[in-house]
Amino acid sequence: MTCELILGGARSGKSREAERRAAASGLAVTVIATAEALDAEMAARIRRHQADRPAGWRTVEAPIALADTLREASAPGHCLVVDCLTLWLSNLLTDAHHLPPGASAEDLPAFRRERDALLAVLPTLPGHIILVANEVGLGLVPETALGRFFRDEAGRLNQAVAAACPRVVFVAAGLPLVLKDG
């Protein structure tokens, strides 16, 4: 198994880089999409991403059960692209606004269960796995407590996934910068 994490900001080219790496692998590709079309703007984004992918690529939706989906879809000689971990995290943190001040995501059982399952399954998967995530910690400090909570949890998740992946790439302005290789 090879695993890589591709990080970047909004519109940085991270999905395009993941798709380029998947195509270059020469393997059959499945995209695991974590987004949900909850409004017209998100539906348009999803359609744009789908239109950009090669026709032979399969898409599987996994807004919550990412580890189970990876386990089911991974296979030797196959490439999986998870786009993206940040939306998956957002799906898992839907109850975060109910947490008392000072609480952490550890206080959300579904989040804890799904995150731990993802981190446990990554090293066991056959094939080539490419994970896409937003780097949200480079901008302004979010104005709200919930925004800061999300930023912090995204940073923690990215660090844990980066530790599990032998290759980590940061994309800015469409240019990939290898942070870790090997």
pLDDT of residue 105: 79
Q: Which domain holds residue 104?
A: 2-181
Which residues does the chain have with pLDDT short of 70?
none
pLDDT given at position 14: 96
pLDDT at residue number 151: 93
Per-residue pLDDT at 165: 97
> For residue 102, what pLDDT is reported?
76
Indicate the helix (H) or strand (E) that contains 5: strand 2-8
pLDDT at position 43? 84
User: pLDDT at position 117, please?
Assistant: 97
Q: Are 34 and 62 in contact (CB under 8 A)?
A: yes
Task: Using alpha carbons, list the distances in angstroms from residue 39 to 35, 44, 51, 94.
Answer: 11, 9, 18, 16
Report how many domains make up the chain: 1
The whole-number pLDDT of residue 59 equals 94
pLDDT at 146: 86
Return the bridge partners of 147, or none: none
Q: Which residues are catalytic?
A: 49
Identify the pLDDT of residue 100: 78
What pLDDT is recorded for position 145?
Answer: 84
Q: What is the CATH number of the domain that holds 131?
A: 3.40.50.300
